[in-house]
Structure 1
Amino acid sequence: MKILVATEKPFAAAAVEGIKKVAQEEGHEIVLLEKYQEKQQLLDAVADVDAMIVRSDKVDKEVLDAAKNLKIVVRAGAGYDSIDTAYAKEKGVVVENTPGQNSNAVAELVFGLLVFTVRNFFNGKSGSELKGKKLGILAFGNVGRNVARIAKGFDMDIYAYDEYCPKDVIEQSGVHAVDSRDDLFKTCDVVSLHIPATPETKSSINYDVVNLMKKGGILLNTARKEVIDEEGLLKLMAEREDLKYITDIKPDADEAFKKFEGRYFSTPKKMGAQTAEANINAGIAAAKQIGAFFKDGCTKFQVNK
């Protein structure tokens, strides 16, 4: 089988070698398309492949129509909103993700950003400490659980809410389970977002929700840009000079947010999975899942059933 690794933001070299090794052991051919600049390059590359491994690359209707032989797409990472999963299902194409492979990398980034924030972006002025602060984790999946694990080392008071995770599971992890998202925002000094972008969550972090935060609150988003109601958050930050918004996903309204100097920070590009370890883990997991699919028909991580 022919497997295309299509990555506008390439994997680490070690990850590519690992992917090749796994594929070759299964008798598959690997084709690389890295740092492509035009969509047509992707459309040409998918024409005769049986499988694809992507990162944040868009796999829309046009790409799926161009891929006549495609049977499976694996997103090397957790979020898969860049793939048209419904249309893939219509076409009989399996879509999978690799949950958990980037989790530690994202969780460590959360605390890199948090320390940077509470120390006033290292501007030389006196800041504050994370010890004793109340941290709220919105969604207690793989990333959320790693965030909780690291937060314990900072001696933070940890709270979480997840609509789909039982409260007793959260409590068993040594974390306070709250009854609702609103309770989380009311209770915590810092709220870290780890929700996917779905029809239910898009623009759900809005003016009213964030306004529930206590004075000096920090909202941290390493999840998805789409979950933020940017217009509402801009309005709130103009009204409340105590709030801070920190993210590794540059907002559409980045220039407007920049006027809140000392209260807003965004990395130039999404950084959550940008570690060599996460690259390697997710890439090799994707290759193994494709191998299992062609060998045994395994679709354990399918997200478009």
Structure 2
Amino acid sequence: MKRVLIATEKPFAHSALSKISEVIRQSGYELHLLEKYQSKTELLEAVKSAEALIVRSDIVDREVLDAATDLKIVVRAGAGYDNVDTAYAKEKSVVVMNTPGQNSNAVAELAIGLAIYGIREFFSGKSGGELRGRTLGLHGYGYVARNVHRIARAFGMRVIVYTRYSKAQATSEGLEVASSLEELYALSDVVSIHVPARGEHLKSVSMDVLKHLKENAIIVNTARKEVIHEEDLCAFMEERTDVKYLSDITPDCAAVFAEKFAGRYYFTPKKIGAQTEEANTNAGVAAAEQIVSFFENDDRSFQVNK
């Protein structure tokens, strides 16, 4: 009997967990839960006998992988997987997967919500603006950005995109594709960031790009803090007092924002893009189904450490 561990410091919604459990148990597998754990020691103990592991934002590093001597597969219930040491997992012959697209609508709705919050002056009572007729620039065009595009069109926004890898997809949907990141930022009233925290995207939102932003622009980041060059962002916002920055990731330079940029930024208390019951269910069930498919059919369709 395969042993599956769900280790989540931030637990799945109850209804989501019920459906995840059903998939695992109907396959004849043994399910173990580690929720709201307080120390890494608890996780290290729990993974010792696990053959499959489902996590959310939980850190799966070398120490965890070394402790999990029977582990065959880790599935990150969500799109981003920078919390898993994929290279070391490959060395240990552990397959790592994610569940792309399952949280995308939830994150997209948050991105639009943050844009509204920013343009309406943080609901402070000051006279704000409207999204209709304004230009939304999508920095990246993956699953989340495509949902942002869908929602933004309903608001009557003009949507443009900069992407190196999904140009054909964007063009086929009638999107205007900017020739450079600098052009995207120069044309956009609202920029919504949707790129992973790896490779060329790390610190890609730098002064070289930011200096092209339109007057009174709003930056929305529901991706990762690592895609922002934080020193440049702080320096830029000090120069450009018209720009707002909203995110569901608190930056390392949050103290600078609090000291210098009051009324021009907002950070959610924790990362909440995927924190909906629907997203919980979609990602969690997908993770469970991928584990079953892997063990029963050697299906590695969503492997990210090939």
Coarse TM-score class (shorter-chain normalised):
over 0.9
List gaps (5 residues or longer) in structure 1: none
Alignment of 1:1-305 (within 5 A): 1-166=2-167, 168-258=168-258, 259-305=260-306
Distance 2:200 2:36 in 1: 33
> What amino acid is the match of 1:266?
F
Distance 1:199 1:87 in 2: 18
What is the TM-score with the length of structure 1 in the denominator? 0.98
C-alpha deviation, 1:256, in angstroms: 1.0
Asked if 2 retains the 8 angstrom alpha-carbon contact of 1:33 and 1:42, the reply is yes
The CA RMSD measured in Å over matched residues stands at: 0.8
Asked if 1 retains the 8 angstrom alpha-carbon contact of 2:193 and 2:223, the reply is yes
Distance 1:205 1:171 in 2: 24
Distance 2:282 2:39 in 1: 28
Moved over 4 A (4+): none
Asked if 1 retains the 8 angstrom alpha-carbon contact of 2:119 and 2:218, the reply is no
Equivalent residue of 2:153, what SS? helix
C-alpha deviation, 1:171, in angstroms: 2.3
C-alpha deviation, 1:169, in angstroms: 2.4
Asked if 2 retains the 8 angstrom alpha-carbon contact of 1:148 and 1:175, the reply is no
1:251-282 CA-partner distances (Å, limit 9, x unpaired)? 11112112301111100100100000000000
Distance 2:301 2:120 in 1: 43
Stretch deviating more after TM superposition (251-260 or 235-244): 251-260
1:237-264 CA-partner distances (Å, limit 9, x unpaired)? 0111011111000111112112301111
Distance 1:171 1:164 in 2: 12
Distance 2:244 2:237 in 1: 8
Query: How many residues get paired?
Result: 304
Distance 1:87 1:119 in 2: 46
Asked if 2 retains the 8 angstrom alpha-carbon contact of 1:56 and 1:82, the reply is yes
C-alpha deviation, 1:179, in angstroms: 1.4
C-alpha deviation, 1:199, in angstroms: 2.9
- Percent identical residues: 56
What is the TM-score with the length of structure 2 in the denominator? 0.98
> What amino acid is the match of 2:296?
K
1:11-40 CA-partner distances (Å, limit 9, x unpaired)? 000111111100011110111101111011
Distance 1:171 1:156 in 2: 17
> What amino acid is the match of 1:231?
E
> What amino acid is the match of 1:288?
E
Equivalent residue of 1:52, what SS? strand
Distance 1:161 1:270 in 2: 24
List gaps (5 residues or longer) in structure 2: none
Stretch deviating more after TM superposition (179-188 or 74-83): 179-188
